Amino acid sequence: MKRTATAALIFFAFGAVAIAREPGTLPMAAPEDVGLSADRLSKIDGAIKGEVDAGRIPGAVVMVARKGHLVYHRAFGFQDKDAGKPMGEDALFRLYSMTKPFVAVAAMMLVEDGKLQLADPVSKHLPAMKGMQVSVAKADGQFARLTYSLAPTEREMSVHDLLRHTSGLAYGEITLNTPVKDAYAKAGLYLPG
């Protein structure tokens, strides 16, 4: 599969993710000057406008850059639909959990380049992850209470596990009253508040 910046940016456009452009940070260029098609890029207009018109998203800002040049930058729909405020090209968006697709795209680019394998243990790239333990629940037969202890993993967590969210890693808040919470706190990953 041929990797292009356009494919990654179109993916984010359909997720209504935008990156605000500061004036002068990327020079404008004609799409053909960087190996893209103006005709094909114009199809983004209809796709995003269709999403806005159908009410699936209130608005979006889409940018496509290649080889250090901005070739497409448009705003669609509304920044505040109720107030009738149109979307501006300089609108800012809170990303929430959008780091996941950004990291997944970057990881797959590394896989394509042969620098990362999905089967790699995470510890190959992050040595501190070697020797991880897991929380094991044990039910008390008399009172049906759960107690937790740490045990070695049956196998190391892989890059694939991280990308499909089956690594077993959890937020500190989820692990309250377990040895995992204490391990997170000791590592500085969870600060009770």
Model confidence pLDDT, tens digit, residues 41-67? 999 999 999 999 999 999 999 999 999
Q: What is the pLDDT of residue 10?
A: 40
Q: Are 10 and 46 in contact (CB under 8 A)?
A: no
Phi, psi of 167 (to 5 degrees): -80, -25
Cα–Cα distance measured from residue 54 to residue 182, given in angstroms and rounded to the nearest whole number: 48
Q: What is the pLDDT of residue 25?
A: 77
Q: What is the pLDDT of residue 175?
A: 56
Cα–Cα distance measured from residue 146 to residue 171, given in angstroms and rounded to the nearest whole number: 19
Domain boundaries, the chain: 5-112, 122-186
Q: What is the pLDDT of residue 177?
A: 61
Low-confidence spans in the chain with pLDDT less than 50: 1-21, 23
- Both structure tokens of 153: 């993993």
181-184 long-range contacts, CB within 8 A, separation 24+: 183/133, 183/150
Which residues does the annotation mark as catalytic? 97
Q: What is the pLDDT of residues 148-169, one digit of tens each?
A: 788 899 999 999 999 998 888 7
- Please provide the DSSP assignment of 63-95 as one string: EEEETTEEEEEEEEEEEETTTTEEPPTT-----
Q: What is the pLDDT of residue 98?
A: 79
